[in-house]
Each structure stands twice: as C-alpha cells, then as structure tokens.
C-alpha cells in the first residue's frame, strides 16, 4: 500500500515538475504539503501523535519511490522523518511529543537537523555552537552549515556544547528550536550541484533562548542522540541512492531500446547490454542492504554497521549507475533534454552527506576491528 501510494504521488506530482524545480532551484512547498496529506510526513510518528506509526522498512519503500523522480523532495522527506520526528519520538518527553509531533506529522512544520558547522563536518564532536545555562533554560550561539530545508523549516533539532570543559562527545545537548525563535536567522543559501529542489543554508543562532522543556533527553546526551539518529538517516539516504539508481536504470533501458546505431538498437551491443545487467544487479544488491538495515532497526537490533554498509554500497553503486546512464545516452545524456543529466548531479551527494563514504568505511571497519 505504501509503495503504491508513494508511486502514485511521485508520478503524479514529482515526475512532471522535478526538472523545473531543479532548473529554478525551487523548494516544492505544494508537493511537500501534498506529501503531508498522504501521511508521508508522519510515517514513523506514533498514531497517538497523528502519525501512521509505521517503521523504517515502510520509510525506505516510500523514499525509493519519491527519489525515483525527485531527489530534492526525497531528502526533505528523509531528514524530516528520520532526523527530526525520529529523535523526538524516541527520546522526547511526553510533553515534547504532544507539542511537536502532531505539527510535524501534519506538515505544519517541516524539520531540519543542525549538527554540521564550518569547522566540524566528519568530526562532528568538535562542534562549537554554545549552549549557555540561563534561568529556565539555555541560550544558543553559533553557526550551523549546510542545513537541509534551513530556509523552509519550521522546527530545528540543534546540537550544541553544554559543557565546554566536559569530555568530548559527552558535553553536547540536543535542543528543539522553532523557526520563529528570537535570534535565529537564515544565513547564506547554498547553490548546489544537485538536489536543487531541496533548500540548503547556514543557520545562525545569536543567543537563542531554549526553555528546559525543549531539551531532548539529558543535556549531555546530545551527541549520542545525534549518532543514533544518523543510523536512521543513513538508511534513508541509502534509500535515496536506490531511487536515483533505479531512475538511471529505467531511463537507460528505455533509451537503449529506442536509439539505433549501425542498423540496430544500441542495447543489442554487448558493451551497452552488460552495463545494464551490472546496473540492475547492483540495484538489487543495494535495495536488499537497505531493506536489511531497515528491518534490523525495526526489530530493535543494532543497525549501525548495517546502515553504514547500506549507505556505502548504495551510494557508490548509484554513482556508477549515473555515470553509465549518461554514457549510454551519449551526447543526449549530457544535456537537459534527458533526465539522466539531473540524476548524475543528484547522485553525487549520496556519497557526501550524513557521513561521507570514507566515514562509512571507518564505521564498518571499527565494527570489524573492535
């Protein structure tokens, strides 16, 4: 049911518009609202808070369909579900769940995740955004970089240092900040290579007051929450890679059957046919890794290694597929007449955000070596 309704939404709303949004760098507000009406913004939110109460496996099935047609919309939904609704549902107080989850599930507020800073990317524990203790809460000061949905979000999950003298990784808190908070402004908007229908910006915090009621968990637990949340996020980005990969394969098969050279369709040449065979096989492998990681998470099993493996494999395979898709399209693939040009640009980010490829290798190898 989820696959059918996601596919219907993607083909009806994303397919005809994705190229325009990409060209115009337009955040698809109406499409995101339509996704909310379909229940896609509260997929994993418990039913008592207005969500569908489903799991990671449902989420990745949805995300593959959405990313098949628009990776910009795909990342917006992935971040919202996995990095915003996820930690509030898992670590939030009853009061936080009651106040925020219904608004997030209804799409009244889209979520954004603020961890990265100019000097803290892969080394996220080295963030410098400060949370200073004040009467009744905390004041946040600092700059966050590359924030997906930053300019269009209604609620920010923000990580900041609560104890500058404290032990690295145990001195960070996790804060909920609504977009209208005094002192919170949108900084530089990024002009990106791909996923241009998603908005990305710096977010600047100048003494933003956060009441104690909006601290998630203990004020030293934030980094643990950030990393645990990223397991779900990585599974979501791996699903994004599967969606883009499928787009590359489907469009390439179509083109290889239509385009004729030397008196026959180019798909009849072994060099092209074998590319398609490899692309299809890698796609299945990626999807199975993604589904396995999601199923482990749903079963409450450790999934950090599985999530890293899914993201590592799916993102690399997706980039190879995008490269081959452009090659199969020849000169046409290098123009905006064909969508593979966009898939090629969109694919690139899957190897960078929510932990770059080598960081996934680091996570996997640490599990192997201890």
Ligand X SMILES: Cc1cc2nc3c(=O)[nH]c(=O)nc-3n(C[C@H](O)[C@H](O)[C@H](O)COP(=O)(O)OP(=O)(O)OC[C@H]3O[C@@H](n4cnc5c(N)ncnc54)[C@H](O)[C@@H]3O)c2cc1C
Residue-by-residue DSSP string for 157-170 = EEEEES-TTSPTTS
Cα–Cα distance measured from residue 166 to residue 55, given in angstroms and rounded to the nearest whole number: 35
Q: Where are the alpha helices (DSSP H) in 148-268?
A: 222-258
DSSP 286-341: HHHHHHHHHHHHHTT---HHHHHHHHHHHHHHHHHHHHHHHHHHGGGGGSTTSTHH
Going by C-alpha positions, the residue among 56, 51, 53, 49 that lies closest to residue 97 is 49
Site for ligand X, rule CB under 6 A = 79, 113-116, 121-122, 146-148, 192, 200, 349, 352-356, 358-359, 362
Write a three-state SS string for 58-123.
HHHHHHHHHHHHCHHHHHHHHHHHHHHHHHHHHHCCHHHHHHHHHHHHCCCCCEEEECCECCECCC
Buried b vs exposed e over 163-173: b needs ≥16 C-beta within 10 Å? Answer: eeeeeeeebbb
Shortest distance, position 200 Cβ to ligand X, whole Å: 5
Q: Cite the active site residues.
A: 354
Please name the helix (run of DSSP H) or strand (run of DSSP E) that holds residue 145, with its range, or none: strand 137-148
Comparison of 287 and 311: residue with beta carbon closer to ligand X: 311
Whether 339 contacts 276, CB under 8 Å: no
CA angle 230, 125, 77 (to 5 degrees): 25
Q: What is the DSSP letter of 221?
A: B
Structure tokens at 237: 């980005």
Buried-exposed string 263-289: b where 16+ CB fall within 10 A, e elsewhere:
eeebbeeeebeebbeebbebbeebbeb
């Amino acid at each position: 049911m989820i696959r059918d309704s996601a596919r219907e939404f993607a083909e009806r709303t994303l397919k005809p518009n994705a190229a325009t949004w990409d060209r115009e760098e337009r955040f698809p507000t109406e499409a995101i609202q339509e996704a909310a009406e379909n229940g896609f913004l509260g997929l994993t939110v418990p039913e008592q808070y207005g969500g569908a109460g489903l799991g990671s496996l449902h989420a990745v099935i949805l995300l593959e369909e959405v990313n098949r047609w628009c990776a910009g919309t795909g990342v917006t939904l992935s971040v919202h579900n996995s990095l915003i609704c996820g930690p509030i549902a898992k670590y939030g107080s009853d009061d936080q769940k009651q106040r925020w989850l219904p608004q997030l599930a209804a799409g009244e507020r889209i979520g954004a995740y603020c961890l990265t800073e100019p000097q803290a990317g892969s080394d996220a524990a080295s963030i410098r955004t400060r949370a200073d203790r004040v009467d009744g809460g905390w004041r946040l000061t600092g700059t966050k970089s590359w924030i997906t949905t930053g300019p269009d979000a209604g609620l920010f999950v923000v990580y900041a240092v609560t104890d500058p003298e404290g032990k690295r990784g145990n001195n960070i808190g996790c804060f909920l900040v609504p977009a209208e908070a005094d002192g919170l402004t949108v900084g530089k908007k990024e002009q990106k290579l791909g996923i241009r229908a998603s908005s990305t910006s710096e977010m600047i915090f100048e003494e933003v007051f956060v009441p104690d009621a909006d601290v998630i968990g203990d004020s030293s637990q934030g980094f643990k929450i950030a990393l645990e949340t990223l397991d779900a996020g990585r599974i979501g980005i791996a699903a994004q890679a599967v969606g883009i990969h499928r787009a590359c394969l489907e469009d390439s098969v179509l083109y290889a059957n239509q385009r004729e050279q030397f008196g026959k369709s180019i798909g009849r040449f072994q060099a092209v046919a074998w590319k398609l065979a490899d692309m299809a096989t890698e796609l299945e492998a990626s999807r199975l890794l993604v589904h396995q990681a999601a199923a482990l998470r749903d079963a409450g099993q450790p999934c950090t290694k599985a999530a890293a493996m899914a993201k590592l494999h799916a993102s690399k395979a997706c980039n190879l597929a995008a490269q081959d898709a452009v090659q199969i399209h020849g000169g046409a693939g290098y123009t905006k007449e064909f969508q593979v040009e966009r898939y090629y640009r969109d694919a690139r980010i899957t190897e960078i955000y929510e932990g770059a490829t080598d960081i996934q290798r680091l996570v996997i190898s640490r599990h192997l070596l201890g």
